[in-house]
Amino acid sequence: MNNPSAESTRPQIVVLGTGGTIAGTATGDPSLPGYTAGVLSVDALLQGIPALSRLARIHTEQVANLDSKDMDFAVWTQLAERVAHWLAQPHIAACVISHGTDTLEETAYFLQLVHRTNKPVVLTAAMRPATALDADGPQNLLDAVRVAVQPQSRGLGVVCVLHGRVHSARDVTKASTHRMDAFTSGERGPLGEVDGDSLRLWRQPAAEPGAPFAIPAAEAWPRVEIVLNHAGADGALVRCLVANPALHPALRGLVIAGTGGGTVHQQLQAALLWAEQQGVRVQIASRVGPLRGGAEDGLNAVKLRVRLLLELGACRA
């Protein structure tokens, strides 16, 4: 028999599904690596984790069901809108999102930059599909809910919970294609860890200058591309991108993944100066690791692109 008193005291959260390996199923022997991502619904994932019911009263919604390598602006916009919708409900304490690992860090940072409340938003994922003999998704989902319901999660912004660790959206990045513990927060390290039903925090996340940003309208997402500096980088790709009249929308920003401390080949540097004269905004990251200083402190190239997309979108709005 249900206990009405216990039912009323448990926090209410929403779990939004977007697909990924965590919702994948094996195409053959479950002990082998072959699988299809984004097959199972979020409801199916949660049914296999009965311990969730003692932590929270859970609402679910399937926002998408795709392999996260195929993430796009339309899904980002829909996901951000649904997060905002649910967190605006007084009875909803937090939001958990199941996602694929490939673009997890981009989605998390996008949501961080548009997030407008103190309520927690927690992303999680898995390195092995749901039908694997040693699937990591159920534990990661359970840990994500554990973090979401903790009072000290308020004000952390958007975090990612994977393999028992809590990472900030700004710092987290995928560092392995096969390890279960595939994500890192670099030199800064994770924000904390899951300890049973508790959350142990070691530090607070860095501030996000300029946030929250508005989400660009569907037709107003600017085009921002990433170019890698390398031996022999002569700038031809930059010149083609800037001068190509067939691009729609036209190029408005470039993120350069430079060598060392963000250095670029002298010929590429000349092309970038020319691109800026044509009205293209240029930002420099490093292919080695995050640079330090300013709003871009600690951002890799893909996250710097996310910030530039929103900055340029705001300029156009």
Give the pLDDT of residue 295.
Answer: 60
Higher local confidence (pLDDT), 121 or 8: 121
Band (pLDDT 50/70/90 cuts) for residue 1 is very low
Distance (Å, whole) CA 106 – CA 23: 19
pLDDT confidence of residue 6: 56
Yes or no: domain 218-316 corresponds to CATH 3.40.980.10: no
Q: What is the mean pLDDT of residues 288-315?
A: 86
- Helix then strand then coil, in percent of the chain rounded to 5, is 30, 25, 45
Task: Give the CATH architecture of domain 4-201.
Answer: 3-Layer(aba) Sandwich (3.40)
Residue 3 pLDDT class (50, 70, 90 cuts): low
More confident residue, 314 or 214: 214
The amino acid at residue 63 is V
What is the domain partition of the chain in residue ranges?
Answer: 4-201, 218-316
Residue 211, judged by CB atoms within 10 A of its CB (0-12, 13-18, 19+), counts as middle
Residue 4: band (very low, low, confident or very high) from pLDDT cuts 50, 70, 90: low
Same fold, 4-201 and 218-316: yes
pLDDT tops 90 at residue 22: yes
Enter the pTM of the model. Answer: 0.95
Q: What are the tens digits of pLDDT across the range 86-142?
A: 999 999 999 999 999 999 999 999 999 999 999 999 999 999 999 998 999 999 999
**Angle of CA points 288, 101, 285, to nearest 5°:** 25
d(CA 13, CA 145): 8
Query: Does the pLDDT of residue 19 top 60, yes or no?
Result: yes
8-state DSSP, 158: E
Give me the active site residues, please.
21
Helix axes 104-114, 73-87, angle to 10 degrees: 50
